[in-house]
Structure 1
Amino acid sequence: MRASYASFGRVGKNLGYKIGYPRKLERTQEAIQANAVITAGICDVAIGDFHDEKLHNSIHDLDSADLGRVRESLKHFVRDWSQDGKIERDKILEPILAVIRPIHESQRASTKVLVPGCGLGRLAWEVAQLGFDTTANELSFFMTLAFRFLLSVESTPTPNAHKAHPYAHWFSHQRSNESLFRSISFPDTVPRLGPNFKLIEGDFLKLSPPDEGYDYLITLFFIDTSLDFFATLAQIHQLLKPGGKWINLGPLLWTGGGQAKVELSLDEVMAAVQERRTVECEYTGDREAMMKWIYKAEFWVAERPVIR
């Protein structure tokens, strides 16, 4: 960005100086350095938790797509673990939590809930806070390492211990530089693993069910990330106990680049679903930006039949 600005002639540079563009580039650098404090902290947690040569060798395999995933992780801190993300979060979490809240408190500790594709874990943590035996599952180390950063007493000892500048890398649709470079504090509450809150890092398709299966399996913005939807559907059926329920909320933004084996319409997906409704919501939205993506996400609850 500095090189691009330096390529302007005298007239362009004078105009840029008049509107304060060089200062904008300085603020960009400052935001990058502030965000690097967080990413360095995540790397410290990774090195401390994984004494594995593969971790150190993997740095040679990075590409531009990885940078995008790091930036998305910063936005997920806002979405999942900041006060700024509460409005977006409430729209998608509340329909799900409303399904399981009626379960009596005396039964929750023995009710097993699996949340695959948990990301930074806020939904799974909320389920565990209600007293359910909760297992969070995530494959991406971009997410699990960021989540471990929040779970660590050393790296995240108190609420709002960190500040990120999650929008500083995206200049489009910004109303002002103050909005562009604003900082967001997180986490609004400190998560910790406990007896009823577990994290399994790995492929959802390779998970084994507990002895009797899960009572609830909750997928949030998850099923369309699968490269093989049919295998995902079969795994959901396998992991649920007879009479267990699958709760889903999300769009059908199938994995791009032709990687997904099938890309189904909503009608095709709904052929096996019992109850549904549409929930309009955002995904890591910037509430101060001039542009918003609104998903008409589908919400449903399906039950694995009991064979008598």
Structure 2
Amino acid sequence: MASDTNQPPHEDGSWAGDFDPFSDPEERRVLFAAFDSFRQYRRTAHMNTTHRRRQAFYALPSAHWQMLAEPPFSILDNLNKVDDAIDTNAEIADAIVAVGLDSFGLSANPDQDDPCKYWHGTATAGDVNKAHSTIRQFYRDWSSEGEAERAVCYDPVLQDLRNEFQTRRDSGEQVRVLVPGAGLGRLVFEICRAGFAAEGNEISYHQLLASSWVLNHTEGPGQHALHPFALHFSNLHSRTQQLQQVQIPDVHPGFAMQQAAESGPGQGFGTMSMSAADFVVLYTQPTNHETFDAVATVFFIDTAPNLIRYIEAIRNCLKPNGLWINVGPLLWHFEDGNPHRSTEGPETEGAGIGEPGNVEFTEDEVLCLVERMGFRIEARDGDRRPCGYIQDPDSMLGNFYFPSHWVARKSLGA
């Protein structure tokens, strides 16, 4: 992905910027696969979750499945409830597809004779998995129940920004903050709500389409129901836990902006924009040289196959004395050459995320590398709070990170 557009979708639903994803066959394929994977959410979730479980259930000895079909087990009734939950989640996936297609001028029922517009059937199994995980991610970023996870990751960033820039912000000065790997846009929104000029960057069309929907096209708080854990059948205390429902978004961006404006002077929002691009390619360009006051990387730096490239991009786009705030673990996504979360752009050798080669660092080595490349570590938080990632808090199995939090300043002359 090579778009340098850095504006959100227009009010009419179209995307700003002069980048045409249809002009490049590989870029078009990636975009179409994202659309198709959300379209397939309903069918694939039913097929892979309940259909195969019913087959396995009826493969039991007749006396066994008949016993388990009755209360208090009622296994078949629960599978029906899971099907209902899947349909509820699929309404979100369908909404993302609808607004995305409209934004790009595509038809929900494309003409098969036009390969440049025919997007059905383009998604791979990996693309479908990304759609499923993106839908679940709304729990973390846009539900009140996900606030505990957000607090560990986002609150330190917001506090660091206030500590450094609040006086400038209160005086009316625009303070520009870049958020690479912006995902579903919640941190970008919170930074904007705190009065800063926030720019998110994201390479994944799955994340871009979903964030555009929640930021620009939802009509109010709590409008959409989500069952984040309905497809999980292990480590459960009860079926009620499995079928938990949350409402998204917990905060509606438009309503929040209106409330801030009505609260009086000093409570207004900053500006918000989003760039759809490879972080390294876009932010090493001369047009982005020394344009940001701060960069906030949250659960991001371990997506780098070559961390030096990320540091070079951050150094290029930060102003002298600019602040780099980092929160996150070191789950290197390209360990053993197999990314845990593959990129969604064409892998162009020698450019950006597609550049060959990778290396994994320890935290001490990361900090050493940051200082070697023109930064000064000013703060390192020793209080490591555990943090799940779309973690069911009631699960018998807990997967937790203890994210690192540090602040670095770009040295003069770097």
Give the TM interval when normalised to the shorter protein: over 0.9
Q: Secondary structure of 2:149's partner?
A: helix
Aligned equivalent of 2:64: 12
Q: 1:151 to 1:216 in 2, by over 3 A?
A: same
CA distance change for structure 1 residues 9 and 56 in 2, over 3 Å: closer, same or farther?
farther
- What is residue 87 of structure 1 aligned with on the other side? 148
Per-residue deviation at 1:240?
A: 0.9
Between stretches 274-283 and 51-60, larger displacement belongs to 51-60
Residue 233 of structure 2 corresponds to 171
Deviates more, 1:7-16 or 1:26-35: 7-16
For residues 31 and 251 of structure 1, do their structure 2 counterparts lie closer, same or farther at Cα, with a shift above 3 Å needed? same
- Would you tell me which structure has more strand in proportion to its own residues? 1
Partner of 1:303: 409
Change (3 A) 1:107 1:138: farther
- SS of structure 2 residue aligned to 1:110: coil
What is the aligned partner in structure 2 of residue 40 from structure 1? 94
CA contact (8 A) 2:193 2:270 kept: no
Residue 280 of structure 1 deviates from its aligned partner by: 2.4
| Residue 100 (1) aligns with residue 161 (2) | yes
Question: What is the identity, as a one-letter code, of the residue corresponding to 1:168?
Answer: A
Cα distance change on mapping 1:9 and 1:35 into 2, 3 Å:
same
How far apart, CA to CA, are the structure 2 residues paired with 1:28 and 1:21? 11
Check the 8 A contact 2:294/2:318 in 1, yes or no. Answer: yes
The partner residue of 1:218 within 284, 289, 296 is 296
- Kindly state the Cα deviation for residue 281 of structure 1 after the two structures are TM-superposed: 1.5
Letter in 2 for 1:264: F
Secondary structure at the aligned position of 1:60 is classed as coil
Distance of 2:66 and 2:313 partners within structure 1 = 61
- Alpha carbons 1:71, 1:166 under 8 Å: kept: no
Letter in 1 for 2:99: V
Whole-Å Cα distance in 2 between the matches of residues 67 and 107 of structure 1?
47
2:179 is equivalent to residue 115 of structure 1: yes
Does 2:280 align with 1:205? yes
Aligned pair 1:61/2:122, yes or no? Answer: yes
**Which stretch has the larger CA shift, 63-72 or 108-117?**
63-72
Q: Are the structure 2 counterparts of residues 243 and 198 from structure 1 closer, same or farther at C-alpha, using a change threshold of 3 Å?
A: same
The answer to whether the 8 A contact 1:109-1:132 is kept is no
Whether the 8 Å contact between 2:196 and 2:270 is mirrored in structure 1 is no
Paired letter, 2:273: K
- Judged with a 3 Å threshold, the aligned counterparts in structure 2 of structure 1 residues 83 and 54 are, in CA distance, closer, same or farther, namely farther
Measured in 1, the distance between the counterparts of 2:365 and 2:57 equals 50
Q: Shift in Å at residue 51 of structure 1?
A: 2.3
Distance in 2 (alpha carbons) for counterparts of 1:54 and 1:215? 44
Amino acid at match of 2:394: E
Contact 1:108 1:132 (C-alpha < 8 Å) held by counterparts: no
Contiguous gaps of at least 5 residues in structure 2? 1-52, 107-113, 258-268, 340-357, 372-376
Q: TM-score w.r.t. structure 1 length?
A: 0.92
Q: Aligned partners of 1:183, 1:54: CA distance in 2, in Å?
A: 40
Count how many residue pairs are aligned between Structure 1 and Structure 2: 306
Q: AA paired with 2:389?
A: Y
CA distance in 1 between partners of 2:63 and 2:88 (Å): 33
Residue 207 and residue 224 in structure 1: after superposition, are their counterparts in 2 closer, same or farther (change >3 A)?
same
Describe the superposition over 1:35-82 as per-residue Cα deviations: whole angstroms up to 9, x where unpaired.
111100000011011126888545433222223222221222111111
- 2:189 paired residue among 90, 114, 125: 125
The CA distance in 2 between the partners of 1:263 and 1:9, in whole Å, is 50
State percent identity of aligned pairs: 30
Q: 1:210 Cα shift?
A: 3.9
Q: Aligned residue for 1:148?
A: 212
1:176 Cα shift?
0.8
Name the SS of the counterpart of 1:8 in structure 2: coil
Structure 1 unaligned blocks of 5 or more: none
